[in-house]
Chain A
Amino acid sequence: SQKIEQNSEALNIQEGKTATLTCNYTNYSPAYLQWYRQDPGRGPVFLLLIRENEKEKRKERLKVTFDTTLKQSLFHITASQPADSATYLCALDDQAGTALIFGKGTTLSVSS
């Protein structure tokens, strides 16, 4: 079955810096990959989707890359702000294409 690995340790950065989060997967290559943000006590919120034939996707201060050779996605937040502090989840389609499988997430803390 597919396994997803995200930075297990929390990431602490200073305001204004770029945060880079990593998502690695094993086994089959997914058709697409998604990133979500989750705040304490709330449900995840969709951020970005990138397909297997796309190398990079951008949305405002967010950038996602997808390297199917390395089986890795990188998620960047530029000019980070304290409001960006949250847990970020990587998700892939399962092999049947009917459900999303989520990583455990990386907790980002941006200090001012």
Chain B
Amino acid sequence: NAGVMQNPRHLVRRRGQEARLRCSPMKGHSHVYWYRQLPEEGLKFMVYLQKENIIDESGMPKERFSAEFPKEGPSILRIQQVVRGDSAAYFCASSSDVGNSPLHFGNGTRLTVT
């Protein structure tokens, strides 16, 4: 009964490189959310996806960031041309339904940009 799986746990990228973060939701969950957390900051919503659709991307920067949740395979958060300010913990969560369903979180990917 695997929970939400994120990989890698730690990712180091140089400025200008691309970062790809993967998230496999809990079995049976079709709703995926990405959040970013900075030290001493709260979780900031980035994007909400269902299979093959982006439902709400209001929290995601318009440039360099993209997300997908294909029909097969994990959800991917992609950051192009990373900058030092992108260094943070990125958490993925899944739920069985939208609305008041609890979110099940993975243990995050810690991105460090050098």
A and B co-occur in one complex = yes
A contacts, CB < 8 Å to B: 4, 31-32, 34, 36, 41-46, 49, 51, 89, 93-94, 96-105
Please report which residues of chain B, range 42-81, place their CB below 8 angstroms from some CB of chain A when the two chains form the complex.
42-45, 48, 55-56, 59
> A101 — which chain B residues lie within 8 A by C-beta?
45
Contact call B45/A100, Cβ cutoff below 8 A: yes
Interface size class of B (residues with CB under 8 A): 20 to 34
Q: How far is the CB of A13 from chain B (nearest CB, A)?
A: 22
> B44 — which chain A residues lie within 8 A by C-beta?
102
Choose from A43, A49, A97, A105 the contact partner of B93 (Cβ within 8 Å). A43
Number of A-B contacts defined by CB within 8 Å: 59
Contact call A99/B100, Cβ cutoff below 8 A: no
A34-B93 contact given A89-B42, A89-B43, A99-B33, CB 8 Å threshold: no
Contact call B45/A49, Cβ cutoff below 8 A: no
Q: How far is the CB of B65 from chain A (nearest CB, A)?
A: 16
| Of listed A41, A93, A97, A100, residue having the most chain B CB within 10 A | A100
Contact call B56/A99, Cβ cutoff below 8 A: yes
> A32 — which chain B residues lie within 8 A by C-beta?
100
> B55 — which chain A residues lie within 8 A by C-beta?
98
CA distance A36 to B108 in the complex (A): 15
